[in-house]
Amino acid sequence: MISKEERAHDFAMMITKLAVQARIDMAKKNDSDTSIDGERAMFAYIDAYKQTLEHLDD
């Protein structure tokens, strides 16, 4: 059985990947810089992970 931490990690990674890809797509449409701020991506992952853990505890 997969632990709640593993499930939260998988979900947070999926959300972070989608958010980063959306940012890349938006930057390409606007012909602007496509660099991704690693710190912002890390914080997005951490927030998604924490929120997922909270919901799994409910």
Position 49 pLDDT exceeds 90: yes
The pLDDT tens digits for 37-46 are 778 888 889 9
Instruction: Output the DSSP codes for 3-58.
Output: -HHHHHHHHHHHHHHHHHHHHHHHHHHTT------HHHHHHHHHHHHHHHHHHHH-
Q: How far is it, in rounded angstroms, from Cα 56 to Cα 22?
A: 26
Number of independent structural domains in the chain:
1
Instruction: For residue range 1-47, list pLDDT tens digits in order.
Output: 889 999 999 999 999 899 888 888 887 787 666 666 778 888 889 99
The pTM score is 0.73
Please count the residues of the chain: 58
Residue 44 belongs to domain spanning: 4-57
Contact 56, 12 (CB under 8 A): no
